[in-house]
Amino acid sequence: MYLSPRFRAFAAGAALLAASALAQAQQALPNVVILATGGTIAGAGASAVNSATYAAAKVGVDKLIAGLPELSKIANVRGEQVFQVASESLTNDNLLTLAKRVSALSKQADVDGIVITHGTDTLEETAYFLTLTVHTSKPIVVVGSMRPGTALSADGALNLYDAVSVAGSKDAVGKGVLVTMNDNIDSGRDVSKNVNVKTSAFSSQWGPLGMVVEGKNYWFRAPVKRHTMASEFDIDAINALPAVEIAMGYEGVSSTAIDAFSKSGVKAIIHGGTGNGSVANRIVPNLQKARTDGAVIIRSSRVADGFVIRNAEQPDDKYDWVVAHDLRPQKARILAMVALTKTSDTKELQRIFWEY
């Protein structure tokens, strides 16, 4: 078909204008980096009905991004594959590596927000560790899924979309490390996995900070505990984490675990006690010996909600023990490891457990 030179010039000009408008629109979008670590959100099952039987940590970050073209409308996204593991297998060294990468990226002017895709089993521990140690006010969002992307009604795609949307949001700045699962925006400090088979697995006893619906954030509260920029701990100054172990309390509990932990030279033992952090009277001497041998004793509780009250179930002042406040054993362990990089003074440690 013949096209006049005038029309061809017009068409070329229009194409240039469109390309420039598109480029400007892309430039206006936030730059979000996705750090992938594995988990179910990167999982794959044999069939669509396998919502619980599947292999975690199989799908690479570039494939996750390519599988969600809607992301390109809300952010300029790029991915890095930091690990490809199920999160129950992550180590302290993995935690340090990940947090240092988050810290480095957060300092880059061309990064507006960071998303970490992560297995759900220990997501709450990683989210808390980042809360305590990464000095940035930029949104950091940790996200996982309870079903693999191959399953019917998979939750990973929307969770990831929400995570990128929140990570690119100006109103998420300064709110600490966040977790977006099942439409909620939770605090990385408060949230835990409370159901091991549902997409509504994650919640906090203090409630979510807000919700994200169709790319819009609805905030209802803000964190009150110290985090990120207000933290006295800095991942850039932490290169190793001390050994801290957890000994659970239960009917018939023996001192075997406590004695073994103490003998191994741990820097702290988290006691996940019954009720309000109760300790069976027969193992108090063993905890006292562990204390004398140099381990800090921190009383948490196996009961999901509530908080441990100092000098209530046990004479903490007399025993020189620390109480974990509302932190469950696994979260108390994260804070204890970070705090012990700075101090082993029990009065200082108790302050830290009140403030973080």
Residues that bind ligand DAS (CB under 6 A): 39-40, 56, 86-88, 119-121, 144
Cβ proximity to ligand DAS, 113 vs 144, nearer residue: 144
The dihedral of CA 182, 187, 188, 192: what is its sign?
negative
| Token duo for residue 31 | 């730059």
In the complex, which residue's CB is closest to ligand DAS? 119
Residue whose CB is less far from ligand DAS, 30 or 119: 119
Q: CA–CA separation, 140 vs 177, rounded Å?
A: 5
Nearest CA-CA partner of 255 in 214, 290, 210, 286: 286
Q: Whole-number minimum distance, CB 122 to ligand DAS, in Å? A: 6
> Cβ 19 to ligand DAS, closest distance in Å?
41
**Catalytic entry in 37, 40, 126, 150:** 40
Nearer to ligand DAS, 40 or 255 (CB): 40
The two counts, helices (H) then strands (E), for the chain are 10, 14
C-alpha–C-alpha distance, residues 65 and 76, integer Å: 11
In the complex, minimum distance from the CB of residue 279 to ligand DAS, in angstroms, rounded to a whole number: 30
Strands 192-193 and 322-323: unpaired
Cβ atoms 174, 131 nearer than 8 A: no
Position of tokens 């199989």? Answer: 58
In terms of Cβ atoms closer than 10 Å to its own Cβ (0-12, 13-18, 19+), residue 316 is buried
Q: Among candidates 228, 210, 128, 108, which has minimal Cα distance to 169?
A: 210
CB of 206 to ligand DAS, least distance (A): 23
User: Which DSSP symbol is given to 235?
Assistant: G
Cα→Cα distances 257→262, 276, 297, Å: 8, 20, 14
Nearer to ligand DAS by Cβ, of 86 and 167: the residue is 86
State the nearest-atom distance from the C-beta of 55 to ligand DAS, in Å: 10
**Residue placing its CB nearer to ligand DAS in the complex, 120 or 133:** 120
- 40 in catalytic set: yes
Q: Among all residues, which ones are annotated catalytic? A: 40
